[in-house]
A and B are shown apart, each in its own frame.
Chain A
């Protein structure tokens, strides 16, 4: 950060930006970028999937955006049409959206959209992807399976089973952390898993 800038305001430091939902995603992608050797990416949290319509336009007018060559947007699938939702926002911002999921447009900046956990993985969110990177014979997965079986018998089971599974897996680690992002920083997810190939291919555009 340059000395004359207020430390309370975050300038765009690099010409490649990844916009994500929140702190958990920032931690996860920070760890993944380091693992695959992609440096100098400016990761920006928008504060939740519902904030993309408000925060992406703000990002576009931030100091330094004029130098941005690549903008990647990653959000969870959840239940709505997530890809089209981001495409619509990008169009309203006069940015060129990609033609398809996982690709980048040829505009300036080039814009790519990836919806978690990807098209080849089942589930609706980052947690699904992280858990799929872990081998089934990992000892902690036995705990996850048994816990899942247990909660399935509850009258009021957790609404988000993916998150419950992830929390169980993380709770079974020698040093417990409470989020997938922190789990990524602890190397609890297998970044060499082929499950991540689709995501890595997308992120490779930022290299």
Chain B
């Protein structure tokens, strides 16, 4: 589980450090303060040199195209001369996990092939004059773990002949999944692990909180997830409303990524306020039982209240934190609220978003 993260020059964030993460963490803050950027940064770090992840997080933003214009979108102010550094520490260790993302230039492919195991600290950044002269055609991702300094891995993703090519070591030190409010969740792919672990009924019992008639879930022959809700035939879950979809998505993610991490952008999306507390209780319960670390964002006061109220009612014993990301021009900081301070803030009716 992550204890802390430090982010430099990623998306909107100049630099931001967050410490003392709990097992379940809710990020709040005004628009454009960088909440989702924090989730994306954590997600990139757990994937380390998985070169597909930058494309994945851009896809979640609706930037699914492959074009030279895409590569700068990861860098602060689209300035690729500023290398991205994401550093995380894990609870219980002093090890630093560091991901450095830099632009990859076509010219370098011919003259400077990346060597596996090369020292990431020595990867030099091209000067701005060079950047202007040679547009980047991809990204280089370099990952290091301070506990194993000899195992620095580098991968690349770039365009070649109008296709995306990846190469290098794909090191993914942690497991996790990103749930976006803008992209449909692949229930088909995620249902099988729950089925294998015999956890489908846990999902069903959660869905029953919204629709008590749901008795079972199953994949049909064409890979469509269907629910038995007492009708004469099974009903595709896609037709059952946003609440069911959200419950299903979060529960399948939590159940699959045991000992991993789940990132939920805009937790409240698709949920009636009464449904949010139920889902938070389930999240706390599974986080504890399955050792999942959760990072979520929200703008909603109802969601924050549900989060706070669910901590005690779910008998969650680990730490749950709320962080407000604050941005003042180009300066970022995170304000930490323990569950006790959060409860007191809500009781005081003092603004914490």
Question: Which residues of A does B touch, CB under 8 Å?
Answer: 5-6, 8-12, 44, 47, 54-55, 57-59, 61-64, 66
Contact = CB atoms under 8 A, between A and B. Distances in A.
B336 A61 contact: yes
A168 B347 CA distance: 35
Nearest to B353: A63
Given A9-B301, A55-B344, A63 B333 contact: no
B324 A8 contact: no
A194 B348 CA distance: 35
B301 A63 contact: no
Q: Which of A9, A11, A12, A55 has the most CB of B within 10 A?
A: A9
Interface string B268-307: 0000000000000000000000000000000001000000
Interface in B60-103: none
A62 B341 contact: no
Contact of B352 (A9, A55, A57, A66): A9
B182 interface: no
B221 interface: no
Interface in B304-353: 324, 326, 328, 333, 335-337, 341, 344-345, 348-353
B344 A9 contact: no
A62 B345 contact: yes
A54 B342 CA distance: 11
Contact of B345 (A6, A12, A44, A61): A61
A147 to B, nearest CB: 38
Contacts of B349: 8-10
Contacts of B348: 47, 55, 58
A69 to B, nearest CB: 14
Contact of B344 (A5, A12, A54, A64): A54
Residues of B in contact with A, size category = 10 to 19
Nearest to B302: A6
A59 B350 contact: yes
B353 A9 contact: yes
Contacts of A62: 345, 350-352
A177 to B, nearest CB: 25
Given A5-B351, A9-B301, A10-B349, A58 B344 contact: yes
Where chain A touches its partner, the secondary structure class is: loop
A49 to B, nearest CB: 16
B344 A10 contact: no
B326 A66 contact: yes
B345 A58 contact: yes
Contacts of A64: 351
Contacts of B328: 66
Contacts of A9: 301, 349-353
A66 B326 CA distance: 9
* Complex A-B, nearest 9 residue pairs according to Cβ-Cβ distance, in ascending order: A11-B351, A63-B351, A9-B351, A62-B350, A58-B344, A6-B301, A58-B345, A61-B337, A61-B335
Most buried by A among B336, B345, B348: B348
B273 to A, nearest CB: 12
Contacts of A47: 348
A9 B328 CA distance: 21
A58 B353 contact: no
Given A9-B351, A58-B345, A59-B350, 15 more contacts: A5-B351, A9-B349, A9-B350, A9-B353, A10-B351, A11-B351, A12-B350, A12-B351, A61-B336, A61-B345, A61-B352, A62-B350, A62-B352, A63-B353, A66-B335
B194 to A, nearest CB: 36
Nearest to B337: A61
A55 B345 CA distance: 8
17 contacts: A5-B351, A5-B353, A6-B301, A8-B301, A9-B350, A9-B353, A10-B350, A12-B351, A55-B344, A57-B341, A58-B341, A58-B348, A59-B350, A61-B335, A61-B345, A62-B345, A66-B328
A11 B2 CA distance: 31
Contacts of A12: 350-351
A62 B337 CA distance: 9
A95 to B, nearest CB: 14
Nearest to A64: B351
A11 to B, nearest CB: 4
Nearest to A59: B350
A45 to B, nearest CB: 9
Contacts of A61: 324, 335-337, 341, 345, 352
